[in-house]
Amino acid sequence: MTLWHEYLEAHARQRPTAPAFGDSGGARWTYGDLARACDALRTHLVNLGVGPGDRVMLLCENCCAAVAALFATSQLGAVAVPVNARMRAPEVDRILAHAKPAVVLLTAAASPDAAAHASRLGAQAIEGDFGRLHVVSQDADGRSHVQIPEGLAVLLYTTGTTGAPKGVMLSHDNLKFGGGASARLRDMTADDVVYGVLPLSHVFGLASVLTASVMIGAEVRLETRFTAERFYQALRSGVTLVSAVPQMHALVMQYAKEQGLDHLGSPDLRYVSSGAAPLDPDWKRRAEAFYGVALQNGYGMTEATAGICATRNGLGDPDTSVGPPLPGVDLRLDQSVPGGGDGLGEICLRGGNVMLGYFANQEATQTVLDPAGWLRSGDIGRLDENGNLHIDGRAKELIIHGGFNVFPPEVEAALNAHPQVVQSAVVGRPQGGDEQVVAFVEVAVGDEPTVSELRAFVAEQLAGYKRPGLFILTEQLPAAPTGKILKHVLLSHFADQLPAV
């Protein structure tokens, strides 16, 4: 079995001077540099007693040192636990208590939040060819030498609204499947320059960006934190491929609009993809006019190593599906769930992308993963006549209003088609035995539509029961480090603007 890190080692032997990774802190590494950085960090980890099966938690934001930490951990047969440094202390501590790592590494030089965690945890600085990291070594009582599944490479903790954190166990084979599928889908070559703005602590950035690029030997330009300005500038500076979430695309288009620009104008960019949220036709047309290339859509989840379905559409294709299942992925719809029927059902899948399970949580594993390898996604979808999957929303986000099913993505698509809307998020709020449809709408400063205008706009597109009963306009929606809107905090975040029910 080829291990995840062996692709890096092969490029280091065969193409040591080829560019590998750069970051916004100024580091520029070839594949040979990356191999030396891994060697140096591996020595530190061995001296700290890290061995096969141990967890190495990496509190990080994107930088070259984080890449070295991921691969050095893998080379030792240990398990990387990448965690976004922008998580709050209680969130980090819950993961620490559950994963019980032997060592915690922190990219304090690249991240103020990682530096704050380093200070809080009493971390010590270490330096070498990998740059500068901070480290905390757990004492014997803090470590756990539990039996781990064979081939386990990474633990990714999913963002939850309540309860204990869940560590998704991804194997070397999972990462190879996800990375290989992404590379083939994008027709990647070693000449590509990939913009790495998605966090490496998230499956999209880890599998679809980092792993795909290292398997092919492409160059990755890492961005520590997303800003619309840096995104715009990067894509005009030789980047050929970018994967992002719709919120990032929306914000960079708004930035360009504020600069009086209506298109990117890059001669190098050849592939743009969007994931983590549905597309709508109007927004897709605007994005393709801006980038000048087709906008590809996809669907995935942490438990499926990012990739499940993806499109390969031409420029101007009106298709807003997430495409057919990736080669090697089986898919079926369970129409017996809430929101199912009439062609709709919960998306279930199996294939080489499906996780090994949740770490130290057999009960949660059995809830979503059956003995035949079928994974329940929790998402509601339908298949069209061409075999393309359309996502109608999360089963748990389904709104029941007036006895009718309301899927938030459909309402959001209607709102996002308004020229003065940057992005939107729709949730349900209990109201006298019913659910009220509430729309949170991000608008540009100085170019705000009125609530009356938005009501009239969606009234032309949506049946009465689907229309929001309440609109909250804001300059910024709360978002995760990936840019994904945090729907589960909207009602509490804007509680002071919500009328009593």
Q: Where are the alpha helices (DSSP H) in 48-189?
A: 64-75, 89-99, 112-121, 172-185
Q: Which amino acid is at 443?
A: V
Average pLDDT, the chain: 91
Query: Which pLDDT value is given to residue 143?
Result: 64
CA distances from 56 to 42, 154, 240, 333, 428 (A): 12, 9, 33, 37, 39
**Percent of the chain whose pLDDT exceeds 90:** 69
Q: What pTM did the predictor assign?
A: 0.85
Express each pLDDT in 358-406 by its tens digit: 999 999 999 999 999 999 998 889 999 999 999 887 767 778 776 666 8
Whether the domain at 6-172 and the domain at 226-349+373-395 fall into the same CATH topology: yes
Q: Residue 142: is its pLDDT beyond 60?
A: no
The correct CATH number of 398-497 out of 3.30.300.30, 1.10.3720.10, 3.90.550.10, 3.40.50.300 is 3.30.300.30
Q: Where are the alpha helices (DSSP H) in 235-316?
A: 246-258, 281-291
Helix (H, G, I), strand (E, B) or coil at 386: coil
Q: Residue 289: is its pLDDT beyond 80?
A: yes
Q: State how far the Cα of 178 lies from the Cα of 183, in Å rounded to an integer.
A: 9
Average pLDDT over residues 303-324: 94
Express each pLDDT in 234-274 by its tens digit: 999 999 999 988 778 888 998 999 999 989 999 999 999 98
Query: Which pLDDT value is given to residue 281?
Result: 79
Helices 408-416 and 281-291, axial angle in degrees (round to 10)? 50
CATH architecture of the domain 226-349+373-395 equals 3-Layer(aba) Sandwich (3.40)
Express each pLDDT in 12-61 by its tens digit: 999 999 999 999 999 999 999 999 999 999 999 999 999 999 999 999 99
Q: Residue 133: is its pLDDT beyond 90?
A: yes
Among 293-307, 373-387, 471-485, the minimum mean pLDDT is found in: 471-485
CB 144 within 8 A of CB 96: no
Q: Residue 460: is its pLDDT beyond 90?
A: no
Nearest to 455 by CA among 473, 468, 437, 442: 468
Average pLDDT over residues 444-468: 87
CB 65 within 8 A of CB 110: yes
295 Cβ neighbours under 8 A, 6+ residues apart: 249, 272, 273, 274, 279, 284, 287, 288
- As a CATH number, domain 6-172 is 3.40.50.980
Q: Token pair 């809080």 is at which residue?
A: 120
Among 51-60, 81-90, 432-441, the minimum mean pLDDT is found in: 432-441
Query: Which pLDDT value is given to residue 160?
Result: 46
Query: Which pLDDT value is given to residue 278?
Result: 66
159 Cβ neighbours under 8 A, 6+ residues apart: 480
User: What DSSP state is assigned to residue 139?
Assistant: P
Average pLDDT over residues 336-358: 91
Q: Which strands form 345-351's sheet, in the order they lie side by side?
A: 329-334, 345-351, 375-383, 389-394
Express each pLDDT in 161-206 by its tens digit: 345 679 999 999 999 999 999 999 999 999 999 999 999 999 999 9
Where exactly are the structural domains of the chain? 6-172, 226-349+373-395, 398-497
